[in-house]
């Protein structure tokens, strides 16, 4: 039973983080700017945060409390329904974009959104009745992502050999050579906050430096990179603001031929805005590799061999992802 609870908890955690990410997407933010939809989605955000904060407690109590188990089940169903609405919106948004129609909400969509709001409100009331408390582990996790690094556990990377080969070939094309040599290398974890000041300091390797003038920092960076071969990796870029990008690029245009900035992003808007020489979209993982990834995070094991009793539950969850 404990393994089942662990898997369900992992599903809810992943589902909620995915919901927050999608609610903040470029298209959905534009869609939500309409009055009625905006008001409802503000309620969603508030209530989803409250529910998210009690997931740890619910995951533990559902093992011994059938009422909490029912609450978790209802919450899981609601998360699926919210995802369905977001999928429906994405499909409609794409259709309207292709046909040149304005992106506007329909009365049917607004009605569905309001029904979700009502269910969320009910689930929030039930959590109070069930005396579910906030778990400290989640308090600061909502919509906050840990900074990324260049280090990776290769044993936990699945089905990316072809992607790795393709990206190596991409680097070879950029540098027109079989080896990657660079005077300066920097890994910058960007995230949702495109902080030009902080990114510049990272590339300059000025940890703890008290310089507060962006102009002075950029002049220093320009001097450091001038006619040198460098490689900067900007990981997990979200901003679609062209002015942010041009501001960041101002001091790095002085590098030697072959200097490169590699950007990773989940948004095709970002890659097109940055004028990428060549974008490489990661392919979807196979079903078997998805199962391995899920088992690793839910059970701390590479597969379900030692947990056959919950394998079917895992398969059902992976098919939903």
Lowest-pLDDT choice from 28-42, 74-88, 152-166: 152-166
Give how far the C-alpha of residue 206 lies from the chain's centroid of Cα atoms, to the nearest Å: 28
**What pLDDT was estimated at residue 140?**
44
**What pLDDT was estimated at residue 118?**
92
Could you please report the per-residue DSSP string of 63-122?
TT-HHHHHHHHHHHHHHHHHHHHHHHHHHHHHHHHHTT------HHHHHHHHHHHHHHHH
Lowest-pLDDT choice from 83-92, 165-174, 268-277, 297-306: 165-174
Answer whether 11's CB lies under 8 Å from 290's CB. Answer: no
Task: For residue 11, name the pLDDT band (cuts at 50, 70, 90).
Answer: very low
The per-type count for the chain, helices as H runs and strands as E runs, is 13, 3
pTM over 0.85: no
pLDDT(208) > 50: yes
Q: Across residues 28-35, what is the average pLDDT?
A: 59
Q: What is the pLDDT of residues 149-184, one digit of tens each?
A: 656 555 555 555 666 666 655 555 554 444 445 557
**What pLDDT was estimated at residue 313?**
74
Answer whether 202's CB lies under 8 Å from 149's CB. Answer: no
pLDDT(219) > 70: yes
Q: Across residues 244-258, what is the average pLDDT?
A: 87
**What pLDDT was estimated at residue 4?**
40
pLDDT(287) > 80: yes
Q: Work out the angle at residue 151's Cα, subtended by the Cα atoms of residues 147 and 155, and round it to the nearest 5 degrees.
A: 120
Put the strands of the sheet holding 260-265 in their side by side order: 184-191, 230-237, 260-265
Long-range contacts of 118-123 (CB under 8 A, 24+ apart): 119/78, 119/81, 120/43, 120/44, 120/47, 120/48, 120/51, 120/78, 121/43, 121/47, 123/47, 123/51, 123/71, 123/74, 123/75, 123/78
pLDDT(124) > 70: yes
Answer whether 159's CB lies under 8 Å from 284's CB. Answer: no
pLDDT(201) > 80: yes
**What pLDDT was estimated at residue 133?**
84
Residues 37 and 109: their CA atoms lie apart, in Å, by 9
Indicate the pairing of strand 230-237 with strand 260-265: parallel
Stronger pLDDT, 165 or 42, i.e. the higher one: 42
SS3 content of the chain, % helix, strand, coil (to 5): 60, 5, 35
CB atoms within 10 A of CB 122: 13
The percentage of residues in the chain with a pLDDT greater than 70, rounded to a whole number, is 65
Task: For residue 6, name the pLDDT band (cuts at 50, 70, 90).
Answer: very low
Lowest-pLDDT choice from 98-112, 166-180, 255-269: 166-180
Stronger pLDDT, 18 or 312, i.e. the higher one: 312
Q: Compute the mean pLDDT over every residue in the chain, rounded to the nearest whole number.
A: 74
């Amino acid at each position: 039973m404990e393994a089942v609870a662990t898997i369900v908890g992992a599903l809810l955690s992943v589902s909620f983080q995915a919901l927050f990410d999608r609610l903040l997407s470029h298209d959905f933010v534009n869609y939500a700017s309409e009055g009625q939809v905006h008001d409802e989605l503000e309620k969603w955000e508030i209530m989803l945060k409250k529910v998210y904060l009690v997931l740890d407690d619910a995951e533990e109590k559902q093992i011994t409390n059938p009422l909490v188990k029912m609450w978790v089940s209802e919450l899981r169903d609601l998360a699926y329904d919210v995802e369905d609405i977001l999928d429906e919106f994405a499909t409609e948004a794409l259709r309207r974009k292709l046909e040149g129609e304005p992106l506007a909400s329909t009365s049917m969509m607004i009605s569905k959104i309001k029904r979700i709001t009502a269910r969320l409100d009910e689930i929030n009331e039930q959590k109070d009745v069930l005396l579910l408390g906030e778990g400290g582990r989640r308090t600061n996790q909502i919509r906050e992502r840990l900074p990324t690094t260049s280090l990776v556990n290769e044993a936990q990377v699945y089905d990316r050999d072809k992607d790795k080969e393709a990206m190596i070939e991409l680097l070879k094309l950029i540098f027109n050579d079989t080896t990657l040599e660079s005077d300066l290398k920097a890994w910058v974890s960007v995230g949702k906050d495109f902080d030009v000041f902080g990114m510049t300091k990272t590339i300059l390797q000025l940890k703890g430096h008290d310089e507060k003038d962006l102009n002075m920092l950029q002049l220093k960076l320009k001097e450091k990179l001038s006619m040198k071969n460098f490689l900067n990796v900007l990981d997990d870029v979200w901003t679609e603001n062209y002015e942010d990008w041009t501001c960041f690029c101002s001091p790095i245009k002085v590098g030697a031929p072959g200097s490169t900035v590699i950007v990773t992003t989940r948004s095709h808007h970002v890659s097109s805005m940055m004028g990428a020489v060549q974008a490489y979209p990661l392919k979807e993982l196979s079903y078997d590799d998805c199962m391995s990834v899920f088992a690793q995070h839910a059970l701390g094991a590479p597969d379900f061999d030692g947990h056959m009793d919950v394998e079917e539950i895992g398969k059902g969850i992976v098919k939903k992802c």
